[in-house]
Amino acid sequence: MRRGTTKGRSTPTRGRSGKARRWVHDLPARRRWSGCTAARPPYPTTGRFSKRTHPISSRARGSRRAGSNRYGRASRRTPQRAQLQTHSLAVNLPAVRHRSTSRERRQSGFPAPPTRLISATVLLAATGIAVAALIAYIHLRHQRDSAYTSFCNVGGVFDCDRVLTSSFSAVAGVPVAYLALIAYAGIAAMAVAARRTARPILAHGLVAGASACLVFSLYMAGISLFVLRAVCLLCSAWYLVAIATFAAVVAAALRWPRAPGRPPAVSPAALWGWIAAATVGVAALAAFTWPRGWLPAARHMSLEALRAMDPDFFDWYTSLPVVTPPAGGHLALGSPAAPVTIIEFSDFECAYCRQNHDLLKDLAARRPGQVGVYYRHFPLDASCNDAVRRTIHPRACRAAEAAECAAAQGRFAAMADALFEHQGELHEATFLRLAEQIGLDVAKFRRCMDEHQGLAKVVADARAGSELHVTSTPTLLINGRKVVGSLSRPGAYDVAVMIEAQSLGKAPR
């Protein structure tokens, strides 16, 4: 048996002379590693990962030989340690190669997506989430406090509160802002997932979500312009985000990479199909959730017919308390000889009061000679209303004085319309400008405002409302029947007027 071997196994190399170590290096390659006969080196001797390129043996370049350390001496690694390193390399090397994803994704059929467009989609979706969260906050404030006025009431047709407090601001009882939060969160999640892999299902999901947001935004924009006749600045930003998101998603879908021999991820036909599906879905949603009202064509109906039309509303309305309405007030709408009298305690700076004013204006136009609307002041301003502990609308008292100064010249109704229309800009300069627009004597009007000639009437109306336990605006007395808030459901005022017309003897005049 050769020196240095025992039954086919080489003797340990530690403590040996340089000659013994040289003999170990002269062994064949299959017996070179740590003196083990059956052990193989932890690297392939040929191929891509040879000992010249192996990460562990990269130090052994040049004159160094495998199995020696950095000082040229024999390695003291045991066969168990060598096998452990060999096993770890076999496990980790494929994982390292998998991180180079660009080439492998092209080979696997899911190439890299258009990164810039996907990043733009993520940014736009985040913007949509921020705008939706702000609108949801305003909507929640309006639900908790009817006297709340948002910051985006610029004046004129630019009135966010009128849009966000309308019956169209919720779908099946769920605020539209909450639905937008869910939609844009879904788009953002799919866009983030698409940054990792360009799977076709993600492209279809993004196109479907962006199409739904775009069509629904166009629907809400039409409601705002043609039904509510008001523009919400926050909602307009929302609509622009929906348009930009749709454009970015469509551009990304048309540039979506595809593997060789596979069809496009989203074809033009599929794109138009998603748009058509979104249109049909929004149309069906509008048909089932449109605020329904009676708006009966008949001017008079029996109490039995009115009860059969909507039993819940009939029972609720007829169960309201009846009080003796106070005398006085300015005729704002309708006829003074009408059988049904509506006394409204209102505030010119209240968004719900403006909405109710428009509803009563439409009611008086539909039923001429049947209803007369009288206006009484109840500003939520502690400077002229003793019943208010904390000022909510700081310009409401001056607006009420402006209306009284216009009433001194016989133009109360015109000034009331102008004040509600310019609700977001109730300042002294605005009062003078509106007085000139409705044809008042501006000098007389200015003197009335400077001398506070209408303040006594405003204080008297507020005290009359306090005696009737009015705590919020608007509060109405329909032939003495006390209604807290606005009957915003379409047709509700028509039914209330017909109920009062059929039961004149039961309600105080």
Q: Calculate the average pLDDT of the chain.
A: 77
> Which carries the bigger pLDDT value, residue 233 or residue 26?
233
Q: Which two tokens stand for residue 18?
A: 């340089």
Mean pLDDT of 232-246: 92
Domain boundaries, the chain: 5-99, 115-289, 303-506
99-108, 162-171, 278-287, 446-455: least confident range = 99-108
- The pTM of this model reads 0.56
Residue-wise pLDDT tens digits, 474-499 = 899 999 999 988 887 767 888 899 88
Helix 396-407 vs helix 412-421: angle between axes, to the nearest 10 degrees?
150
Is it true that domain 115-289 has CATH number 1.20.1440.130?
A: yes
Which has the closest alpha carbon to 325: 358, 384, 374, 369? 374
Most confident of 31-35, 136-140, 460-464, 494-498: 460-464
| Candidates 3.40.30.10, 3.40.190.10, 3.40.50.150, 3.30.230.70; CATH matching 303-506 | 3.40.30.10
pLDDT of residue 89: 45
Question: Would you say residue 15 has pLDDT above 50?
Answer: no
Residue-wise pLDDT tens digits, 143-183 = 777 667 778 776 667 778 778 877 788 887 788 999 999 99
Which has the closest alpha carbon to 206: 251, 155, 160? 251
Question: Would you say residue 355 has pLDDT above 90?
Answer: no
Residue 148 near residue 213, CB atoms below 8 Å? no
Q: Taken in order 230, 236, 242, 247, is the CA torsion positive or negative? A: positive
- Taking the C-alpha atoms of residue 270 and residue 314, their distance in angstroms, rounded to an integer, is 50
Share of the chain above pLDDT 90, in %: 35
pLDDT of residue 326: 83
pLDDT of residue 471: 86
Mean pLDDT of 257-267: 73
pLDDT of residue 133: 93
pLDDT of residue 297: 47
> Which carries the bigger pLDDT value, residue 430 or residue 105?
430
Share of the chain above pLDDT 70, in %: 73
Mean pLDDT of 113-141: 90
Question: Would you say residue 366 has pLDDT above 70?
Answer: yes
Residue-wise pLDDT tens digits, 415-464 = 999 999 888 788 899 999 999 999 999 999 999 999 999 999 999 999 99
Mean pLDDT of 282-290: 86
Band (121; pLDDT cuts 50, 70, 90): very high
Residue 391 near residue 380, CB atoms below 8 Å? yes
For residue 347, what are the contacts with CB-CB under 8 A and spacing of at least 6? 147, 353, 377, 378, 379, 380, 393, 396, 473, 474
For residue 497, what are the contacts with CB-CB under 8 A and spacing of at least 6? 340, 363, 367, 370, 371, 478
pLDDT of residue 504: 67
- Taking the C-alpha atoms of residue 113 and residue 135, their distance in angstroms, rounded to an integer, is 33
Same fold flag, 115-289 and 303-506: no
Residue-wise pLDDT tens digits, 397-418 = 999 999 999 999 999 999 999 9
- Taking the C-alpha atoms of residue 186 and residue 394, their distance in angstroms, rounded to an integer, is 42
Question: Would you say residue 300 has pLDDT above 90?
Answer: no
- Taking the C-alpha atoms of residue 329 and residue 33, their distance in angstroms, rounded to an integer, is 108
pLDDT of residue 53: 46
Q: Taken in order 392, 396, 398, 400, is the CA torsion positive or negative? A: negative
Termini Cα distance of the chain: 130
Question: Would you say residue 346 has pLDDT above 70?
Answer: yes
162-176, 204-218, 374-388, 413-427: least confident range = 162-176
pLDDT of residue 224: 87
pLDDT of residue 482: 92
Band (97; pLDDT cuts 50, 70, 90): very low
Mean pLDDT of 82-105: 47
Task: Give Rg (Cα) of the chain.
Answer: 40
Residue 169 near residue 163, CB atoms below 8 Å? yes
